[in-house]
Amino acid sequence: MSAPYPAIDPDELGVDKAVLIDRLLIPYFLGTLEALANPALYEGDGEDVIGTVLAVQDHLARLANAEDAMPTFTPEGCALIRTAQQSAPSTTETLITWQAAQWDTSEFFKPTVNANRAYFPSDGFWFIGAQVGFSAAAATGGTYIRCRRNASLEIARVKREGNVGATTFEFGVVKFMAAGDFVDVAVRPSVTANIERLVDSLPRLFIFKVGT
């Protein structure tokens, strides 16, 4: 697979060049998703995946406002965020309560039903990723974040042992989900910590449909 999509500052390129870059970006995005479905072929890591997906999200927003933009590429999905800190007690698993949707194409976010969850509107293969920052995570016992399907089946986990200090955890997976399924994100810091609202609206849960 080709290298992950490089960092680009569209503000320095202007609209015309930004649109051109977007036309090159989407194949990288689709290639990344294809590689995730075939892990043996993927040469990057979780941060490469997160960076590629976030670059797509940023550039799609720019395309929507570009006068000479190509036909809109709008993946079905959502990005859920917190707008304030959430306390996470020491050695206790806590579900993240989402407070807003940066974007949501199909009512994934149903806060009046359960603000901890993202609900899937249709059967298919979905990319599911998250970023979570902690104000502190420094002790024995390990700190982790994990993603659960339907409140029971674990589909992703990232754990770090020992003194890791204030840090950010990330994961990205592709899974088949049925209509009506949901996912949530649980965290357990090794010391009492805040789930931070850091730069660019961390924490965040984002979902894209990649196949049927």
Taking only the tens place, the pLDDT of each residue in 34-76 is 665 565 555 555 566 666 666 666 666 665 555 444 444 567 9
pLDDT one-digit tens code per residue, 115-149: 999 999 999 999 999 988 777 655 556 788 899 99
Q: Which residue has the higher pLDDT, 45 or 19?
A: 45
pLDDT confidence band for 207 (50 / 70 / 90): very high
At 84 the pLDDT is: 83
Can you give the pTM of this predicted structure? 0.65
Greater pLDDT, 210 or 25: 210
Q: Are 142 and 114 in contact (CB under 8 A)?
A: no
Reported as a single tens digit per residue, the pLDDT across 65-112 is 554 444 445 679 999 998 888 888 877 889 999 999 988 999 999 999
pLDDT band per the 50, 70, 90 thresholds, residue 212: confident
In terms of pLDDT, which residue wins out, 39 or 161? Answer: 161
Q: Which residues touch 38 (CB under 8 Å, ≥6 apart)?
A: none
pLDDT band for position 196 (50/70/90)? Answer: low
Average pLDDT, the chain: 74
Q: Which two tokens stand for residue 24?
A: 């090159």
